[in-house]
């Protein structure tokens, strides 16, 4: 008798589930109010701190997948761990590429374009810095493999706009090559940008002793003061100024030199002119310029 009652109860439950399915509901589906929206942009009264978050690593997998829409821009910062003279820590390029990318993503979101930032690819092409110590480098094949692997992962999750935001001089050519090759192989647009090149005119208007980023210079020291002040050894700034400095090849020309051939301190430029206020202006200038361009639908068409 008990077995018959249990079987009858199961039969009724199955019948009810079929009726729900025919009515357009999934069996055991949550009430509609509990199903999250794909994304909520700033200004929506339902926005939460998680909706506004842009850092990939601070979101759950489900929160990331909810943003996999055709118009979402995913930024992948690339950098290097390398010597930056006696006054700056080796993480400069990583900190600055990450800061520019995250600020860019926040500006995009504020303007209505959903955006995410992956963790920074912290090692790049830095063999030219090896003689000064403290440097970790990849070769071109390793770097291309890492960048390609991250970009392919992003594309496999359904994202269709990928930006490579570079913060290291040794990566410039490799990033542009990667953007071209990945666009062809993935079938989605991949855009490469080096932040100080994109904002060259704006940087020139802010800097006093140079026209753009050099190395561990007025610009980089200022930006580190703004975002990672404990990465600056202020007592060493004066002795960081090189006594011997060979300028890089002019725009349009390229040749390889080890950094030890170019400077006796590992620095190009004068960090004595640096300030945190100047660094904040530089970071905002770079992020604004990149966000302006990446918000244009024509860039991704």
Q: Which residues of 132-154 are buried (b: 16+ CB within 10 A; e: fewer)?
A: beebebbeeeebbebbbebbeeb
pLDDT digits (tens, 9 = 90+) for 201-246: 999 999 999 999 999 999 999 999 999 999 999 999 999 999 998 8
54, 106 in Cβ contact below 8 A? yes
More confident residue, 289 or 17: 289
Q: What is the pLDDT at residue 92?
A: 99
Q: Distance between CA 120 and CA 66 in Å, rounded?
A: 22
pLDDT at 301: 92
Mean pLDDT across the stretch 266-271?
97
- What is the residue extent of each domain of the chain? 1-34, 51-300
Q: Tell me if the domain spanning 51-300 has CATH number 3.40.50.10310.
A: yes
Instruction: Place 289 in a pLDDT band, splitting at 50, 70 and 90.
Output: very high
Q: Would you say residue 20 has pLDDT above 70?
A: no
pLDDT interval class at 1 (50, 70, 90): very low
* pLDDT class of 21 with cuts at 50, 70, 90: very low
- What would the pLDDT profile of 133-192 be if each residue is shown by its tens digit? 999 999 999 999 999 999 999 999 999 999 999 999 999 999 999 999 999 999 999 999
Q: What is the pLDDT of residue 14?
A: 56
pLDDT at residue number 250: 82
In angstroms, the Cα distances linking 293 to 78, 107, 113, 120, 298 are: 19, 11, 12, 21, 9
* Between residues 183 and 13, the one the model is more confident about: 183
Is the pLDDT at 24 greater than 80? The verdict is no
pTM for the full predicted model: 0.84
Provide the pLDDT confidence category of residue 32 given band limits of 50, 70 and 90: very low
Q: What is the pLDDT of residue 10?
A: 56
Residue 27: its pLDDT value, please?
A: 39
Position 37 confidence tier, pLDDT thresholds 50, 70, 90? very low
Express each pLDDT in 46-97 by its tens digit. 556 678 999 999 999 999 999 999 999 999 999 999 999 999 999 999 999 9
The pLDDT of residue 41 is 54
């Amino acid at each position: 008798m008990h077995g018959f009652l249990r079987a009858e109860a199961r039969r009724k439950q199955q019948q009810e589930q079929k009726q729900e399915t025919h009515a357009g509901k999934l069996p055991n589906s949550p009430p509609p109010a509990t199903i999250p929206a794909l994304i909520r942009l700033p200004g929506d009264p339902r926005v939460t701190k998680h909706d506004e978050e842009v850092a990939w690593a601070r979101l759950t997998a489900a929160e990331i997948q909810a943003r996999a829409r055709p118009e979402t821009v995913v930024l992948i910062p690339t950098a290097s761990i390398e010597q930056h003279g006696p006054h700056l820590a080796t993480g400069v390029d990583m900190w600055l590429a990450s800061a520019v990318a995250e600020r860019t993503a926040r500006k995009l979101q504020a303007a209505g374009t959903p955006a995410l930032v992956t963790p920074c690819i912290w090692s790049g092409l830095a063999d030219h810095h090896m003689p000064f110590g403290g440097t970790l480098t990849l070769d071109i094949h390793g770097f291309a493999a890492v960048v390609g692997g991250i970009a392919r992962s992003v594309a496999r999750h359904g994202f269709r706009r990928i930006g490579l935001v570079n913060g290291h001089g040794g990566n410039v050519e490799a990033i542009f090559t990667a953007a071209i090759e990945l666009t062809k192989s993935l079938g989605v647009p991949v855009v490469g940008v080096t932040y100080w090149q994109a904002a060259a005119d704006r940087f020139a208007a802010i800097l006093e002793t140079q026209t753009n980023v050099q190395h561990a210079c007025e610009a980089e020291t200022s930006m580190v003061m703004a975002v990672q002040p404990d990465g600056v050894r202020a007592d060493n700034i004066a002795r960081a100024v090189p006594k011997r400095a060979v300028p890089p090849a002019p725009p349009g020309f390229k040749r390889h030199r080890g950094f030890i051939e170019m400077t006796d301190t590992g620095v190009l430029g004068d960090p004595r002119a640096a300030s945190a206020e100047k660094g904040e202006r530089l970071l905002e200038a770079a992020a604004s310029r990149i966000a302006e361009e990446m918000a244009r639908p024509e860039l991704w068409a």
